[in-house]
Homo-oligomer: A and B are copies of this chain.
Amino acid sequence: MKQINIAILGCGVVGTGVAKLLMEKQPLLESKIGASLNLKYVVDLDTKTDRGIRFKDGVFISDATKAIDDPTVDIIVELIGGKGVAKDFILRALKNKKHVVTANKALIAEFGNDIVKIAAEHNSDFGFEASVGGCMPVIKTIRESLVANRINSITGILNGTCNYILTKISNEGCLFDVALKEAQAKGYAEADPFLDVEGHDSAHKLAILASLAYGMRINIKDIHVEGISKITPVDIEFAKDFGYTIKLLAISKNNTDKVEARVHPTMIPTVHPLAHVNGSMNALTINADATGETMLYGAGAGMMPTASAVLSDIADIARNIMVNQNLNSDSKPVTRIPILGFQDSNVRQISIMPITEINTCYYIRLAAADRPGVLSKITGILGNCGISIQSVHQKGRQANGPVPVFMITHRAVERDVQQALKEISELDAIPENPVVIRIEEDITT
């Protein structure tokens, strides 16, 4: 049986999971692939801490270049993370004509275009299913299953930490800080939760998905990002009363000329399947012209779900190696599926629509002084900016102090909404900046 040699760089949580799967599932993988997947190296600077795995002698090493430069190694699995040595190792491996698998979304979102170019030059496969959505087959679905579709939009809950926190605030009415602390205690949130709760992790993932969905190069800096740290139980409660659920969504729409790509807390109708994705689970809906709306749902992170996605890439590459081994001596190895799903000459540079140009409905919450004429001023400003109001509600009026006012607008252009909010904030009667949450009505199935 043909032996395919694999080296894992980085033996942290996911690296350990991949090593375990490769060793424990060797018979299963052989029975499916018809090749033996041999774990030749596991590389980590720390080879002392016990990972609960009995490696054969010479497998667990600390020198990455030994693995990357070993001519018998077929597949390098980069699970170090970050944008430092991980990038150097990936490029070196590709230049050595090795196939590479990674789960490193930040690196791909920022340097993916360079990596794709070098992989293509060396006829190497570059797998990154594990970089988005954990075990959900998001990349395979977009690139292979929906091959004959124009993808109209993708909408995802792509960060389990944020979804856990929002679910907890929604179920228990607690404050953001309390929910975050519990997420950290349970191991869902990092000690430094900035990338997660401020939406940047979701933006990295959205950049990857939009690139594949539309066959475009994306500049991550063009994606508008807002996190969940300002969401309060009051907003969630109001949303519930009006048939909405608040989720941190990564949204991309394929408009004719420009692509929308944005990450922010969003109110969605409670009847939508995404509204029922709770706790640390992830989900992605894809709206495409032939299929209509489909959804994938699953664990978006964690040792074994992520390792399972890494293994699916390894298996795909192993199958390609099995096919290519019978090539004519004068043929180059064939990359079966281009990395971005489109042949390189068809990948386009499309600009992302500035957030000020989007057109959607808005939830606005503000605290207004409790005196006659204030509401008239507020609605007057909105009207002057061309914004129609769907409904206005006062709730929780108290003897003294400002009155909470909740408004839902009809569809409006974001630029106009921002202008109106600026003017409203400058009113004497408005002591605090208004809270604004975008509403996605049209994802209703």
Contacts and interface: CB of A to CB of B under 8 A. Distances in A.
A292 B296 contact: no
A319 B343 CA distance: 12
A343 B29 CA distance: 10
A320 B150 CA distance: 23
A307 B291 CA distance: 9
Interface in A325-363: 326-329, 331, 334, 336-338, 341-343, 346
B319 A146 contact: no
A309 B336 CA distance: 19
Contact of A148 (B297, B308, B336): B308
A398 interface: no
Interface stretch (A78-86, A132-140, A229-237): A132-140
B147 A32 contact: yes
A327 B311 CA distance: 27
A273 to B, nearest CB: 6
Contacts of A265: none
Contacts of A334: 322-323, 326
Contact of A304 (B135, B291, B312, B337): B291
B312 A21 contact: no
B29 A148 contact: yes
Q: Could you say how many copies of this chain the assembly holds?
A: 2
A308 B343 contact: no
A308 B336 contact: no
Nearest to A292: B299
Contacts of A320: 323, 336
Of A144, A215, A276, A288, chain B has the most CB atoms within 10 Å of the CB of: A144
Contacts of A304: 289-292
A292 B305 CA distance: 7
A59 interface: no
Contacts of A135: 145, 290-292, 294
Given A326-B334, A338-B32, A296 B294 contact: yes
Interface in A65-96: none
A414 to B, nearest CB: 30
A324 interface: yes
A298 interface: yes
A34 interface: yes
Contacts of A34: 338, 343
B149 A140 contact: no
A98 B304 CA distance: 39
A233 to B, nearest CB: 21
B28 A148 contact: yes
30 contacts: A17-B290, A21-B148, A25-B148, A29-B147, A31-B346, A32-B147, A32-B338, A32-B341, A32-B342, A32-B343, A135-B291, A135-B292, A137-B144, A140-B145, A147-B315, A276-B276, A290-B308, A292-B304, A294-B297, A295-B298, A297-B297, A319-B336, A320-B336, A322-B336, A323-B324, A326-B328, A326-B334, A327-B328, A328-B328, A328-B329
Please name the 9 residue pairs, one residue from A and one from B, whose CB atoms are nearest each other, closest first.
A294-B298, A148-B311, A326-B331, A31-B346, A137-B145, A135-B291, A290-B308, A295-B297, A290-B304
Given A135-B291, A281-B445, 14 more contacts: A21-B148, A28-B148, A31-B346, A32-B342, A34-B343, A149-B308, A290-B305, A291-B308, A292-B305, A294-B296, A295-B297, A319-B337, A322-B336, A323-B324
